[in-house]
Structure 1
Amino acid sequence: MARRGKKPKGRPVNGWVVLDKPKGMGSTDAVAKLKWLYFAQKAGHAGTLDPLASGMLPIALGDATKTVPFVMDGRKVYRFSVRWGAETTTDDTEGPVTRSSELRPSREAIEAQLPNYVGEISQVPPAFSAIKIAGERAYDLAREGETVEIAPRTVEVLRLEIVEQPDDDTTVLEAECGKGTYVRAIARDLGRDLGCFGHVVELRRVSVGAFAEDDMVPLDDLLEAAEEGREELDAEAIESGAKPRVVDFAPLDEYLIAPEAALADIYEVLLSDEQASRVLSGNPVILRGRDAPVFCDEAFATGHGRLIALGAIEEGSFKPKRVFGGRG
């Protein structure tokens, strides 16, 4: 007799919560907090955000975790403040100053350098970063006092511009970039090129992949929604030390974004009910219509009012590779 799999703990909730992560909270802690709030069976995030940074941290719940790679590969927008006159070991405010200068760059001098940082550029990630060296995180090695040598890597910066310059010591920049780009390294290298040195003092991520700034929800709003859904305990239960549980998740679920929102940049296949049933069983379906593509490396299928599968289009048929809520 076949053994039954252990029933997953939690609700089978599916969707994205685009958290406006507060400064001081780690990405792993944020995921754990939302998994607990939503009582979700599965949770994961799309792109680590440093504890010292704030802003967008897309968190996937349930089946949305299958779409995480599509968000991680998407473009990101960072708004960051650079303090001129000092370079630090961490390229931000955490580390001690290693080099300093009395020189302060003009706005014109900064703008003249920005084109050098747009396009495909070679960049050495900060020593205090999550890059792995011989299986160890660079920041762990750096904190132990070891000399960290990280090889340059090619990254893509699509846009880099000045947002404001509040004083001679500080410039606020905005960068739109591809996966693996470190804006702390941009600040460090820009300071060196300008001859004045520099480091990041504020960092906020405002966009990731298909998610925009308006999609973000502050943690306090989620905590308030959870409170709305908590049960009311009688005096005896309170006296016994019982803690009220969330029994109505509707206020929290208002902040959920459908899993397919992460797939805005790839081709969508609209399935009939009959086709959706076939795909849910892991079978391919032939695509009809004059405009239906014959080949497509990446596509997703929707039907029955929800995301059905991730897959590819080959010889005019959609072939599922990952099915949502069905066999396969």
Structure 2
Amino acid sequence: MSRRRVAGVIVRRALIGIVFIAIIGAIFFAVLQTVPARNYLARKVAEMLSSALNSEVAVSAIDGAVPFNVRIAHLSAERAGVTWLEVDAFSLRWSPASLLTGRLSIRELYAGTVTVRPPPEHSRVAQPAHPFPPDMAARMSRITVQKLDIGRLELDRQLLGNAIVLQVTARMKRRSRKESGSASAHIETIDGTDAGLIINAEASYAEPHAVITVDISARKLPWRSVLLENVGFHARLTEDFGTPAGLQGNAIFSAVGLPIARQDGPVPVAIAVEATLTNGLFTLSAHAVASEHDAVRANCSVPVEVSLAGMTARAGNDAN
């Protein structure tokens, strides 16, 4: 038999094998789209999560183009009759082919609403000294998430003292051996009143730069007292690890309600303190405005500059 005929036989057998594998894969994919198969997968997912969370987990029917795209309408975990975890509109899109390289590549992980409450204390069982396998860190390092999106994460008041709502978005890209990514988080505390803290954090990196920006604001701080009623705070800090400028930012603290005693009654005073950090130079300025019947009575400004690098300071004042 000539070499050409041998090569032709090898090619034909390879094509037959590829077609056979494709047919088996198509049949397997078609079976996964049936209702009994999806219900079976939902039961298996619930069993695995129940064992991992030490709770009774209920999973609604699985939807989507299984196994490439898995969607779960509702997931809940219950312990001792108390539902401590609820997840709505969960979606997972991943690449099964990535398993051939020994890694798990998750293209998109999305959750609409996640609610976390404290589980019952009396139902907790003793945990082993090493609850995770020794190679857990190595396993986690082989998992990559390209996009993470949590529409609303609610933490119950009993967990941290105040009810907190978070919104998290993260993305990662890889181009020509260079990685880049971004992440953002919106955090808001809720205590049943108009007082609360709002934090917006953004982070991005594209080799060799990494920038982190944190924006914190509060219309009314929860620790306001009788003297300082309308207390507000706003701060914005930015750090670029790839430039010599370093940390940049400013913060403003304001309060209204500090009274000044007078014969005809107390006069409310508005106070504003602003701090600015630029190129290692810290500038602090304070303003106090006393008003009576919406008329400005006094204004005092005291700027203070402090150089963090040279440990020098300069102060001045301006009053009218």
TM-score calculated relative to the size of structure 1: 0.20
Q: Which has the higher contact order (CA 8 A, sep 6+)?
A: 1
Give the structure with the larger strand fraction. Answer: 2
Give the structure with the larger helix fraction. Answer: 1
For the pair shown, the structure with the greater C-alpha radius of gyration is 2
TM-score calculated relative to the size of structure 2: 0.20
